[in-house]
Structure 1
């Protein structure tokens, strides 16, 4: 999902709640601090800036991904 603002943050939180494969509750996983969101990852807390993607890895881990990396790695479905 792409993070852009508070509305997209709320959408990401709702997605996490629906798809949660981890042990952390959404309140422990994400925090919104305008204009960024903080994500607790396996590597520690990372920030997503507006325009970044929030993606799930192969083991269910969640982390931010810069648009240029995302677009070079994935093809539209």
Structure 2
């Protein structure tokens, strides 16, 4: 039997490495995440998931799933599985303009 993933919208942020940790922490706070059990190191982040601890390394995406769970995703898998969703002005009060693609060359990541 074959299956196709249901189209769902998730929030995600790409961790660029140690110097990017504060931005990821701010994103997690915006998601209402508890960081109990998360370990932030210079070379990786340990994320407690529903299947046990998983490790994110620089370049990996951290995804907030449909039930509020968090898990890491390698960039190639993320690129093959997800596409950027543009949110029109007015539908997301916290945005003042249409969000750019987080994989754009500006380096700005929208979570």
Q: TM-score, normalised to structure 2's length?
A: 0.59
Distance 1:29 1:16, change over 3 A: farther
What is the root-mean-square deviation of aligned Cα atoms in Å? Answer: 1.5
Give the corresponding residue for 1:66: 74
Q: TM-score, normalised to structure 1's length?
A: 0.81
Q: Quote the Cα distance in structure 2 between the aligned partners of 1:49 and 1:41.
A: 15
Q: Which has the higher contact order (CA 8 A, sep 6+)?
A: 1
Between Structure 1 and Structure 2, the one with more strand by share is 1
Which runs of at least 4 in structure 1 moved beyond 4 Å after TM superposition?
none
Give the corresponding residue for 2:57: 49
Question: Which structure has the bigger radius of gyration?
Answer: 2
| Count of residues paired in the alignment | 73
In structure 2, runs of 5+ residues without a counterpart are 1-12, 86-111
In structure 1, runs of 5+ residues without a counterpart are none
